Amino acid sequence: MREERDVRLSDKTTLRLGGRARRIVHAESPEEIASVVRQADSSGVPVLVLGGGSNLVVSDDGFDGVVVTCAFDRVTIARAGEDIVRVTVDAGMNWDALVARAVAEKWCGLECLSGIPGSVGATPMQNVGAYGQEVSDTIVRVRGYDRVERKFVDFSREDCAFSYRSSRFRHDSRFVITQVEFELEESPLGAPILYEELARAFGTSRGAQMGIVYVRDKVIELRRGKGMVLDANDPESVSAGSFFTNPIVRADVVLHVAKVAGVDPPAFPADDGKKKLAAAWLIERAGFKKGEPPGAVGISSKHALALVHRGGGTTRDLLRVARSIRDGVREKFGVDLKPEPVFVGCAL
Ligand code: EPU
């Protein structure tokens, strides 16, 4: 395994924020990561599992413990039916490299998740989703190292307790995800398009199926327009993607929001008769503007849900802006925005 000492975590997060860590260990197999984590746990040293750093807010004080990464990325393929493949992927594989491979092989089910930064092992945690697909649609098994029982455990899709941007792994550091298995259908057409904006971009309507290669290209184009594709030439992409989740609220809250705003909010059906509101819309209607405030950290000029680090800032700056947005939306609409990234050593 490879080790780095005295590392700036700002070099490891897409926000380019965060203090130092004394030690980062890049484990080259599941067994290696288990051994590092076991040793740290036995000696009471805190552990931070780092994926692509794209959904992480790290304190300016850094992390006083051992940071580990999964530096293993094998893919194995098995056939599970005439048109069905089971793709088993190590946690350390780059997510978009997997999606690109799936699209090239005409394995359908991940194409709408194109252009998302991060590693495969991080995707079950927050049930990554975009443009009508979520990883929980195609994940059939997750393997994790259990830090309590000190052994590897397999979770079925049901065991993962997936929900919108969450899973059993989200608020529990007991399991270190080392491998994910997907079941994908072989088809030159992508899955039926469920997301209005994507259908519109194709000049079609929801339910239509388009060539899987075109779906990938279109999704990347849409994401790029929102500053949501990591790009060294796009300063608006220095962010953690969506900073807040879209709040899921009761129908009476939607009515209240409509009354306060004087117009019906965009609202999408969710479980139990609830509605999912668009956090970006609430933020703008609460008076926050894209591109503001000026300074080191502010709202992206391309999408109201992303906070962008423009350089020279601190995590404290980021939290200050995020709190003012959260408080402003609560004051105006009585809706609580919840942050989407994982926080290390700090909180909103
Ligand atoms: N909107 C605004 N202002 C904006 C942008 C959007 O008012 O600047 C309103 C519009 O009414 C729009 C609605 O918000 O129709 C929804 O916007 P969008 O389609 O861009 O999606 P989102 O709900 O903001 C979610 C995910 C994204 C994912 C997109 C596309 C969450 C928290 N975010 O964003 O995921 O890419 O849908 O599927 O669920 C991420 O999680 O980091 C992420 C980027």
Ligand 1 center to 118 CA (angstroms): 18
DSSP notation for 54-70? TTEEE-TT-EEEEEEEE
Q: What is the pLDDT of residues 212-266, one digit of tens each?
A: 999 999 999 999 999 999 999 999 999 999 999 999 999 999 999 999 999 999 9
Q: Which atom of ligand 1 is nearest to the CA of 226?
A: 20
Residue 242 annotated among the catalytic residues of the structure = yes
Q: Which two tokens stand for residue 315?
A: 């995590």
Mean pLDDT of 196-211: 96
The predicted structure's pLDDT at residue 207: 94
Q: What is the arrangement of strands in the sheet containing 20-27, beginning at the earlier edge strand?
A: 2-8, 20-27, 63-70, 47-50
Residues 7-40 as b/e (b if ≥16 CB within 10 A, e otherwise) read bebbebbbbbbbbbbebbbbbebbebbbebbeeb
Confidence of residue 152 (pLDDT cuts 50, 70, 90): very high
The predicted structure's pLDDT at residue 40: 97
Q: Which two tokens stand for residue 225?
A: 């327009």
Confidence of residue 115 (pLDDT cuts 50, 70, 90): very high
**pLDDT for 171 beyond 90:** no
Which residue ranges form the domains of the chain, and what is each CATH number?
2-70 (3.30.43.10), 75-225 (3.30.465.10), 235-344 (3.90.78.10)
Q: Determine what percent of the chain is predicted with pLDDT higher than 70.
A: 100
Residue 165 annotated among the catalytic residues of the structure = yes
Instruction: State which of 96, 305, 329, 338 you would mutate to test the pocket of ligand 1, scoring each by most atoms of that ligand within 8 A of its C-beta.
Output: 305
Q: Which atom of ligand 1 is nearest to the CA of 130?
A: 38
**What does the DSSP 8-state code read for residue 112?**
G
Cβ atoms of 10 and 17 closer than 8 Å: yes
End-to-end CA distance of the chain: 35
The predicted structure's pLDDT at residue 188: 87
**Whole-angstrom Cα distance, residue 264 to residue 283?**
15
Which residues form the pocket of ligand 1, taking CB atoms under 6 Å from any ligand atom?
Answer: 130-131, 165, 195, 197, 226, 228, 241-242, 245-246, 266, 278, 280-281, 284, 303-305, 340
Distance, C-alpha 51 to centroid of its chain: 11
Report the predicted TM-score, pTM, of the whole model to 2 decimal places: 0.96
Phi, psi (degrees; rounded to nearest 5) at 252:
-70, -30
**Whole-angstrom Cα distance, residue 304 to residue 309?**
14
Mean pLDDT of 301-310: 97
Q: Determine what percent of the chain is predicted with pLDDT higher than 90.
A: 97
Among candidate residues 141, 143, 147, 165, the one labeled active-site is 165
Only one residue has tokens 């088809």, namely 187
The predicted structure's pLDDT at residue 283: 98
Mean pLDDT of 35-57: 97
Among candidate residues 54, 167, 237, 242, the one labeled active-site is 242
